[in-house]
Amino acid sequence: MSEDQGSVAAARQRWEKDVLAPAVDKGLRPATIAPAGWRAQEGAAPLLHTPREDDGCGYLEQLGFPGEYPYTRGIQPTMYPGRLWTMRQYAGFGSAEETHERFRYLLDRGQGGLLVAFDLPTQLGLDSDDPDARGEVGVVGVAVDSLQDMETIFHGLPLEQASPSLTMNGAAAVALALYVATAEKEGLPLERISGTTQNDILKEYLARGAYIYPPRPALRLCIDVIEYCTRHLPRWNFMNVCGYHMREAGATRVQEVAFALANAITYIEACLARGLDIDDFARRIAFNFTASAEIFPEAAKFRAARRLWAKLLRERFGARNPASWMWRTGAGSAGSTLTAQQPENNIVRVALQNLAAVLGGVQSFHAAAYDEALALPSEHSALLALRTQQVLAYESGVGDVIDPLGGSYYVEALTDEIEREVGAQIARIEAEGGMLRAIEDGRAQGEIARSAYAQQRQIENGEQVVVGVNRFQDGTAPDISLHRPSAAMVDAQIARLQRLRRERDNGRVALALGRLTAEAHGNGNLMYPLLEAAKAYATLGEMCGAMASVFGKHQAHAGVLP
């Protein structure tokens, strides 16, 4: 036995005694509890597989053990045998009342977390009666015009257990203010409010276009949210850096990781410039990535990203708390891969995407509904997507061992390759002035556009097979029941908004909006005046408009796709 191989054996004994055993004492899931200590059910494989004593070279440096640096094999000592991933379904449509009912329906059927979809006007800081909102109210998510709507969505739901993820960026600070005011009305003190704000504005300029203000004041608002949560909301994940949308816009797998980490570096440096300590905020930065049906490369992507983040936080930014080194990520079905042709095929695609993410060690997953290429999910398709996750969790056995792909020659080679390529891209971005500069001059958007074009060409010429689209077509139209938005809902939403404006204390609203405008001219944290305005029932459009009167609104310049 070589010295390195002996070190693996000794290190494993140390990990089992000092790290795994205390975690097991806190409990494993019933399916994995065994009388044989930390091992799985009697006669089954151990919870964790490591190299044999004759092939352990490099193991400790590159892989290590779950719950320990560099976290390649997972951020928790027991991973899914201790606790399954959180099963989220992206939901929200029409009115606050309809969205409340959908959330209640999913929670009653075993969903573990709430992932809130807001309609496009809400994401763009527009009230439902704004002329620019016409035709979009309640279409791709729920319309939220004020605290009144947020109260309706969440009233009576178990908020502390089913922590919501607010999928908002341009108006993320406003959404958080509305939610904090709502949670307090539901009886939760600040220290017990948990959930996530996406709050990743840079990817909006890169991939989605749901921005409001120019990049630099928008970045200020992102840091305001982080600073406020660091001081007042210890359980809130204040940023979900979103590689997902860049991948959906056409980025490659490597670009998804590289651009997301480059964005995260930009946020970290802005926080440090604000005077925050790295260990006070880094542990609450989370991520959201896509998962395609390419099982092994996707699993390797998640493993490489964990290792990259751990090294970045410990070696570059000097974080001392191991919690700061842990790359926590949710994942979601690659919506762009779902097809309107033969939509039932999407059920298989989503199952494979969920499997890829779980094999990669994600903390939560959103399974798309099979009809999402055609319309908002119906109640039936949303439940089927949740059941897909539950079958995988409870019937496949994939969650009964830790990092089952660890040690695969193929997967480890892919993990190393992705880590190298991502590192090279980040180095290039920084040498060229950083991510904010790349966004402002359009270079980063151009790279994603070129990747999207190349991928579409591959599909059109048949190099990349999409079943039912460019091969194995049958020419039949889908025969499924689709969700349709209600025109009456829009009228009711606008009427409710206008009634609110008549009945609230408009003097209190004017004072709150005046303070918000004044603070926007300065350099104070805008979360405080936003909370005051939210509690006064100022509308989302009024709050965003007050800030836009100072910051202006962003217009993408010509030549954004070089």
Q: Is the dihedral of CA 491, 497, 498, 500 positive or negative?
A: positive
In this prediction, residue 8 has a pLDDT band, given cuts at 50, 70 and 90, of: confident
Q: Which of 104-118, 333-347, 477-491 has the lowest mean pLDDT?
A: 477-491
Cis peptide before 81 (omega within 30 of 0): no
Burial label for 409, CB within 10 Å (0-12, 13-18, 19+), is exposed
Domain residue ranges of the chain, discontinuous segments joined by +: 3-62, 79-460
pLDDT at 29: 76
**Tens digits of residue pLDDT in 151-167:** 999 998 888 877 888 98
pLDDT at 4 over 90: no
pLDDT at 54 over 60: no
Pair 289, 295: CB distance under 8 Å: no
CA–CA distances in Å: residue 400 to residues 32, 283, 405: 6, 27, 13
CA 364 – CA 386 distance, rounded (Å): 12
**Tens digits of residue pLDDT in 445-455:** 999 999 999 99
CA 362 – CA 254 distance, rounded (Å): 17
Pair 421, 303: CB distance under 8 Å: no
Q: In what order do the strands lie in the sheet with 86-91?
A: 236-237, 195-197, 164-166, 113-116, 86-91, 364-366, 328-333, 285-291, 239-242
**Tens digits of residue pLDDT in 492-527:** 999 999 999 999 999 999 999 999 999 999 999 999
CA–CA distances in Å: residue 140 to residues 143, 207, 349, 449: 9, 17, 22, 24
Give percent of the chain above pLDDT 70. Answer: 92
What number of H helices and E strands is found in the chain? 24, 9
Residue 79: Cβ within 10 Å count:
24
Scanning the structure block, which residue is given the tokens 């709430």?
A: 114
pLDDT at 300: 97
Give the burial string for 187-197 (b: 16+ CB within 10 Å, else e): ebeeeebbbbb
pLDDT at 379: 83
pLDDT at 1 over 60: no
pLDDT at 163: 81
Pairing of strands 195-197, 164-166: parallel
CA 232 – CA 238 distance, rounded (Å): 11
Scanning the structure block, which residue is given the tokens 């951020």?
A: 75
pLDDT at 538: 98
Q: What is the DSSP string of 352-414?
A: HHHHHHHHTT-SEEEPPPTTTTTSSPPHHHHHHHHHHHHHHHHHS-TTSSB-TTTT-HHHHHH
CA 331 – CA 157 distance, rounded (Å): 24
In this prediction, residue 78 has a pLDDT band, given cuts at 50, 70 and 90, of: very high
**Tens digits of residue pLDDT in 359-416:** 999 999 999 999 988 887 888 998 999 999 999 999 999 999 999 999 999 999 999 9
Q: Which of 70-74, 76-80, 93-97, 338-342 has the lowest mean pLDDT?
A: 93-97
CA 358 – CA 352 distance, rounded (Å): 10
pLDDT at 3: 47
| Helical residues (DSSP H) of 186-214, grouped into ranges | 202-203
Q: Which of 106-115, 116-125, 378-387, 540-549 has the lowest mean pLDDT?
A: 106-115
pLDDT at 191 over 60: yes
pLDDT at 478 over 90: no
pLDDT, mean of residues 474-485: 75
CA 439 – CA 30 distance, rounded (Å): 48
The pair of structure tokens assigned to 472 is: 């194995």
Pairing of strands 86-91, 364-366: parallel
CA 170 – CA 202 distance, rounded (Å): 10
pLDDT, mean of residues 206-219: 95
Q: What is the DSSP string of 87-152?
A: EEEEE--BSHHHHHHHHHHHHHTT--EEEEPBPHHHHTT--TTSGGGTTTTTTSSB---SHHHHHH
Q: Is the dihedral of CA 174, 178, 179, 181 positive or negative?
A: positive
Chain centroid to CA 158: 21
In this prediction, residue 33 has a pLDDT band, given cuts at 50, 70 and 90, of: very low
pLDDT at 60 over 60: yes
pLDDT at 43 over 70: no
Pair 306, 71: CB distance under 8 Å: yes
Scanning the structure block, which residue is given the tokens 């962003």?
A: 554
Give percent of the chain above pLDDT 90. Answer: 73
Residues 33/163/305/562 CA torsion (nearest 10 deg): 160
Residue 20: Cβ within 10 Å count:
24
CATH 3.20.20.240 fits 79-460, yes or no: yes
pLDDT at 247: 96
In this prediction, residue 480 has a pLDDT band, given cuts at 50, 70 and 90, of: confident
Bridge partners for 94 per DSSP: 142
Pair 301, 289: CB distance under 8 Å: yes
Give the burial string for 476-497 (b: 16+ CB within 10 Å, else e): eeeeeeebebeeebbeebbebb
Of the candidates 375, 368, 341, 373, which has an alpha carbon nearest to the alpha carbon of residue 353?
368
Pair 323, 283: CB distance under 8 Å: yes
CA–CA distances in Å: residue 181 to residues 16, 99, 283, 470: 44, 19, 24, 50
